[in-house]
Amino acid sequence: MKRTKVTVDFEAYPKEIGDLLKGALVYDSSCSPAARVLFVDRDRGYFVKEASCGALLKEAELASFFASKGLSSKVLFYSTETEKDYLVTERVPGEDAAFAAYLEKPEKLCEVLADSMRMLHDTDIRNCPVPDRMKDYFATVDERYHKGMFDPSIYGDRVFFKNADEAWQTVQAYKHLFQSNTLIHGDFCLPNIMLDNFALSGFIDLGNGGVGDRHVDLFWCAWSLWYNLKTDKYTDRLFDAYGREKINKDILRAVYAAEAFG
């Protein structure tokens, strides 16, 4: 996780956050233009996330739910104002799964990721604040298909679908097989999985989570292994470790199609 030391005006933040920033070393840890993320180096560490008004509400609710299950860090503060949302969480111990020491042992990493995913997917979904993630998932696919927002570059030089129409038709052919019956992360990429000496310590960046279909997480984990290791040779090992009997090839192919729409 990249961090750049920055100077911030703590008086520009809500008092609860300003008091946290005052006198602390602060680093920019942002990885998306949609939100600014600050790491506050004091005590055991804190993350301050800021985004447009209302943008962090779902993530705050999901982070609290994940924390209640022992799957993420505690939410310390959330507020929404006229122009911005603010979310403060405790640091999850360890380093993310894209850390060099973990990538150097890809076979072991696959086992840990599969175990972590199975544990997440076995979690009790009652009272999850996002009870049907797939409804929004397919609504987004529909919207972007009709706007012509098809981006196969997500797969690098690998070709899975000839064009947007083929990908769209694949989604339509198999979307009835999807189920919203599993707690998913929704963006199960290596930078969002925190490990402490190859043991799961928690999940971060939970805004795409909720009750959904396990194949979304399986796709993103396999994609992220390919992206970070520059090879897809470990996909089979990941799926074997997770459990082939739980994987439907048609649903997984439909996820590959859906994700090309962003």
In this structure, the dihedral spanned by the alpha carbons of residues 63, 69, 70 and 72, taken in order and rounded to 10 degrees, is -10
* Sign of torsion over alpha carbons 194, 200, 61, 185: positive
Whether 43 is catalytic? no
- 79 Cα distance to chain centroid: 22
| CA-based max dimension of the chain | 57
Residue 198 Rama label (left phi>0; alpha psi -120 to 50; beta): left
Kind of pairing between the strands at 84-90 and 46-52: antiparallel
The active-site residue, picked from 85, 96, 187, 213, is 187
Phi, psi at residue 18, to the nearest 5°?
-55, -40
> Which residues are identified as catalytic?
187
